Chains A and B, each alone.
Chain A
Amino acid sequence: MEDEKIIDLFFARSESAISALDAKYGKVCHKISYNILNNRLDAEECVSDAYLGTWNAIPPQRPNPLLAFVCVLVRRYSIMRHRANTAMKRNSSYDIVISELEHCLKHPDDVEKSMETKTLARMIEEFLDTLTKENRVIFMSRYWFSDSNKEIAARTGLTENNVAVRLNRIRKQLREYLAEREVLV
């Protein structure tokens, strides 16, 4: 079903809107959530929460593209669940990507600057714009979608080794980029 028709179902407050959304994008949404939570039940709940969030947002919103909109909600709910679920063992893909970034972003002197999330988000966008499309996809796949190097390799047609090297290089660029803007002192 086309996105426009699914959105029309939401506007019509039809319960089949969520079924249609799940049928079309459920797999992607579950994967994003599972990468963060490493728990299928938790992931299902977060995806359901995201669907509910979509239900509440449409109308009045008419998101385009719909999938990206839902993915943002899934990721947001999943990260919230991840933080709340303190008893969970830290072994998800999300934990791994977090540890990669901690190594990249943490200053040895542990100097931390507070910054508004949205300001930092704009800065990250500027950084993303400096990357090639392929490198941007690799970076976002890894740190937004928490995809494994193997999955990124399959998406980009590169080898896993190449992906690993690219990510290492992009993290260095990110560190330099943030340091130049005094986000990292």
Chain B
Amino acid sequence: MSAQVFMDALGEVNVKYVEEVLTYQCPAKRGQSRAWLKGCVAAGLALFLSASIVLATNTQARAAFIGWIKETYETLFVYRFEGDANSSTEPVVYRPTWLPDGYSEFLVNDTGTSTMVAYTNEAGKILRFRYIRSSDETDWFADTTNVTIKRTRVNGNEAELFLSTDADTASGIMWSTKDDTAFLISAFLDEGDLIRVAESVANQQVLDEPKEYELAWIPEGYSEFKTIEQDGGLTVLYKNEVGKRLRFSSIHNPNTIEWYIDTANTIQSEVQINGFPADLFTATDDETASIVMWIDSNENVAFYVSAFLSEEDLMRAAESVYN
């Protein structure tokens, strides 16, 4: 079939397709994004290019793939989402939790599905952090001029590192996670610092809204009677019919907290609670509560359980912590 035949037929399509073009309004949020982009270009923020092909360009292979894929088009490295967009509407706020000294946030642009945060230091160097959640019809382009491409990993996820070979071009790193969030960081940093920033990216909401922990098991006869929120943590008090108390505390970011334990009438020992080293203070008389305390280093949360219980029951209660 010749192109002329096709063009003739295209001229015969329903007028609604013509009308659609004539009346098309581009999404406002993209307009904002472009305005921001221009600002960044004006600020001298460099993008980067690549010429590597990560996923085969075979159409059938791509059709079966859902998620972020990478392909090349002419001289462009393209990072795009294939498949249904993530239907989750829960807001997720990611931020790097580590930045090189001197960098501070100066611009945030959030379009709902795509977020960009720009940081700058005293020298005016810009660090750009961007993420997007499995948005359909989204392409990221990278400029390969003066850049060396390297494969690496960010917290176990495959990543592309774009290392600049000249002082005026930013280096960058792109990666995506299992929940189909894609990340991009560009900055005038060396490889080590760039990866360190990337690996520090965390869900800010998780940090801002700490998990609430509870005891899945408490001895028979005990019931909750008071909850106290303080110092970034939560304390739940239980008591039984005879007024004996059981205290359970969970403190986030425990490096800001100091707990003082009266070791009188206790025997101290080291135990393990759910795989974490713990200090057990076993009471030697009936008037003293036993205590166990430990830090979940994965979640950076400190736990404290004290009660008038046997060592076995105290440990059982401690090991039942869940969120």
- In the assembled complex, A89 has its CB within 8 A of some CB on chain B: no
Chain A residues lying within 8 Å of B4, measured Cβ to Cβ, are 83, 98
Chain B residues lying within 8 Å of A58, measured Cβ to Cβ, are none
- State how many angstroms separate the Cβ of B293 from the closest Cβ of chain A: 55
- In the assembled complex, A11 has its CB within 8 A of some CB on chain B: no
- 10 inter-chain pairs at a CB distance below 8 angstroms, sorted by A residue, are A68-B15, A118-B12, A121-B11, A124-B6, A125-B13, A137-B20, A137-B24, A144-B13, A164-B73, A178-B1
Q: A105-B1, A144-B18 are in contact. Are A162 and B139 (CB under 8 A)?
A: yes
Q: A158-B30, A159-B141 are in contact. Are A120 and B9 (CB under 8 A)?
A: yes
Query: How long is the Cα–Cα vector from A124 to B17 in the complex, in angstroms?
Result: 11
Contact A168 B11 (CB under 8 A): no
| 5 nearest A-B pairs in the assembled complex, by CB-CB distance | A157-B26, A121-B12, A120-B9, A157-B30, A101-B3
Contact A155 B6 (CB under 8 A): no
Chain A residue at minimal CB-CB distance from B73? A165
- In the assembled complex, B8 has its CB within 8 A of some CB on chain A: yes
Chain A residues lying within 8 Å of B26, measured Cβ to Cβ, are 155-157
Chain B residues lying within 8 Å of A164, measured Cβ to Cβ, are 73-74
- In the assembled complex, A20 has its CB within 8 A of some CB on chain B: no
- State how many angstroms separate the Cβ of A58 from the closest Cβ of chain B: 15
Chain B residues lying within 8 Å of A100, measured Cβ to Cβ, are 3
Contact A79 B11 (CB under 8 A): yes
Query: How long is the Cα–Cα vector from A104 to B4 in the complex, in angstroms?
Result: 12
Chain B residues lying within 8 Å of A145, measured Cβ to Cβ, are 21
- State how many angstroms separate the Cβ of B303 from the closest Cβ of chain A: 50
Chain A residues lying within 8 Å of B15, measured Cβ to Cβ, are 65, 68-69, 72
Contact B21 A101 (CB under 8 A): no
For B, the interface residue count at a CB cutoff of 8 angstroms equals 38
Query: How long is the Cα–Cα vector from A71 to B24 in the complex, in angstroms?
Result: 15
- In the assembled complex, B311 has its CB within 8 A of some CB on chain A: no
Contact A112 B2 (CB under 8 A): yes
Contact A105 B24 (CB under 8 A): no
Query: How long is the Cα–Cα vector from A162 to B19 in the complex, in angstroms?
Result: 23
Q: A101-B7, A165-B76 are in contact. Are A65 and B1 (CB under 8 A)?
A: no
- State how many angstroms separate the Cβ of B21 from the closest Cβ of chain A: 5
Q: A128-B13, A137-B24 are in contact. Are A68 and B19 (CB under 8 A)?
A: yes
Contact B11 A120 (CB under 8 A): no
Chain B residues lying within 8 Å of A121, measured Cβ to Cβ, are 9-13
- In the assembled complex, A106 has its CB within 8 A of some CB on chain B: yes
Contact B31 A140 (CB under 8 A): no
Contact A184 B13 (CB under 8 A): no
Contact B10 A143 (CB under 8 A): yes
Chain A residues lying within 8 Å of B9, measured Cβ to Cβ, are 117-118, 120-121, 123-124
- In the assembled complex, B5 has its CB within 8 A of some CB on chain A: yes
Query: How long is the Cα–Cα vector from A148 to B167 in the complex, in angstroms?
Result: 35
The contact of A143 among B7, B14, B27, B59, by CB within 8 Å, is B7
Chain A residues lying within 8 Å of B2, measured Cβ to Cβ, are 102, 105-106, 112
For A, the interface residue count at a CB cutoff of 8 angstroms equals 57
Q: Which residues of A contact B (CB under 8 A)?
A: 28, 65, 67-69, 71-72, 75-76, 79, 83, 98-102, 104-106, 112-113, 115, 117-118, 120-121, 123-125, 128, 132-137, 140-141, 143-145, 155-159, 161-162, 164-166, 168, 172, 176, 178, 183-184
- In the assembled complex, B228 has its CB within 8 A of some CB on chain A: no
Contact A98 B12 (CB under 8 A): no
Chain A residues lying within 8 Å of B19, measured Cβ to Cβ, are 65, 67-68
- State how many angstroms separate the Cβ of A127 from the closest Cβ of chain B: 10
Most buried by A among B1, B59, B136, B137: B1
Contact A140 B3 (CB under 8 A): no
Chain A residue at minimal CB-CB distance from B80? A165
Q: A101-B6, A155-B26 are in contact. Are A133 and B20 (CB under 8 A)?
A: yes
Chain B residues lying within 8 Å of A165, measured Cβ to Cβ, are 73, 76, 78, 139, 141
- In the assembled complex, B34 has its CB within 8 A of some CB on chain A: yes
Query: How long is the Cα–Cα vector from A113 to B9 in the complex, in angstroms?
Result: 14
- State how many angstroms separate the Cβ of B248 from the closest Cβ of chain A: 52
Contact B5 A161 (CB under 8 A): no
Query: How long is the Cα–Cα vector from A178 to B19 in the complex, in angstroms?
Result: 24
- In the assembled complex, B22 has its CB within 8 A of some CB on chain A: yes
- State how many angstroms separate the Cβ of B24 from the closest Cβ of chain A: 5
Chain B residues lying within 8 Å of A101, measured Cβ to Cβ, are 3, 6-7
Query: How long is the Cα–Cα vector from A157 to B24 in the complex, in angstroms?
Result: 11
Contact B11 A75 (CB under 8 A): yes
Q: A137-B24, A162-B139, A165-B139 are in contact. Are A99 and B11 (CB under 8 A)?
A: no
- State how many angstroms separate the Cβ of A108 from the closest Cβ of chain B: 13
- State how many angstroms separate the Cβ of B269 from the closest Cβ of chain A: 63
Query: How long is the Cα–Cα vector from A155 to B111 in the complex, in angstroms?
Result: 19
